[in-house]
């Protein structure tokens, strides 16, 4: 049997955020005829890790391992063992499974404006579901020069995501300050005997957590950080579910 070693990628790449190829600020004049067609999540099919924010830890922990990667300990949800997403069913997310906010936000995203602290709503012009006015297919982004409800909803969602991203940054800075993270790797054996390894991620060390000063424990209990840590730790049991999904996929190819 072959062994495969995979490393969860950092949430952002040098060329820009994960999945986004050509994000452009939305403008009513330039994009007056643009439309958004029915959504697809095929864009997320070839990744084994998706960025996560603290506001979704509770739900995400029920479906995926929540891990930390990179020097800033950015949280991700592991959605595969090899370099593919085990939760993509055709062009849809698997039923009865939580879809991460990062996926649901696409193809919209906030871009930093010229004024610090201000953001512009942007859209990935290369997204499969974006119709650049070549037909009447899809829901319009603008009508009579004004943003439609679709754009207004995207603005609110991206605003909420950006606030959650900042809260996430503060949380990970706190766990880094307490030196709680340790590097881990896992070796798994699929039902067919194939062996795989996943490495390059960090988790909270339970022993270090138990030795936190009482004042930190109390502060984290009150600000919600302690609950976030426990969501992360409980989520690690979901690696078993990934192994079963990978085993089913391997069996289907046999």
pLDDT of residue 118: 83
Q: At what angle do helices 225-235 and 149-177 cross, to 10 degrees?
A: 90
pLDDT of residue 254: 66
Per-residue confidence in pLDDT tens, the chain, 254 aa: 123 444 444 444 434 689 999 999 999 999 999 999 987 899 999 999 999 999 999 999 999 999 999 999 999 999 999 889 999 988 899 999 999 999 999 999 999 887 776 889 999 999 999 999 999 999 999 999 999 999 999 999 999 999 999 999 999 999 999 999 999 999 988 888 888 888 989 999 999 999 999 999 999 999 999 999 999 999 999 999 999 999 988 888 76
Predicted TM-score of the model (pTM): 0.90
pLDDT of residue 13: 42
Q: Where are the alpha helices (DSSP H) in the chain?
A: 57-60, 101-105, 149-177, 206-210, 214-223, 225-235, 239-253
pLDDT of residue 240: 93
pLDDT of residue 192: 87
In contact, 65 and 101? CB cutoff 8 Å = no
pLDDT of residue 113: 80
Q: How many other CB atoms are there within 10 angstroms of residue 146's CB atom?
A: 9
């Amino acid at each position: 049997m072959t062994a495969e070693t995979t490393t969860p990628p950092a949430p952002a790449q040098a060329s820009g955020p994960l999945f986004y190829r050509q994000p452009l600020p939305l403008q009513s004049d330039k994009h007056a005829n643009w439309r958004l067609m029915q959504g697809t999540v095929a864009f997320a099919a070839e990744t084994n890790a998706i960025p996560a924010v603290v506001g979704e830890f509770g739900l995400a922990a029920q479906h995926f391992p929540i891990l930390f990667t990179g020097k800033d300990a950015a949280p991700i949800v592991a959605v595969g063992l090899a370099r593919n997403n085990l939760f993509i069913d055709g062009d849809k997310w698997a039923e009865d499974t939580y879809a991460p906010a990062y996926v649901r936000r696409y193809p919209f995203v906030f871009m930093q404006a010229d004024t610090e602290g201000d953001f512009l709503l942007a859209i990935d012009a290369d997204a499969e579901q974006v119709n650049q006015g070549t037909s009447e297919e899809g829901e319009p982004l603008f009508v009579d020069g004004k943003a439609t409800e679709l754009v207004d909803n995207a603005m609110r969602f991206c605003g909420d995501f950006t606030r959650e991203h900042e809260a996430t940054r503060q949380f990970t800075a706190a766990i880094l300050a307490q030196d709680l993270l340790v590097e881990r790797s896992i070796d798994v054996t699929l039902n067919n005997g194939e062996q795989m390894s996943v490495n390059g991620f960090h988790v909270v060390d339970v022993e270090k957590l138990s030795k936190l000063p009482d004042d930190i424990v109390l502060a984290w209990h009150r600000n919600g950080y302690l609950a976030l840590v426990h969501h992360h730790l409980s989520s690690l049991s979901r690696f078993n579910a990934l192994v079963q999904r990978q085993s089913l996929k391997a069996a289907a190819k046999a």
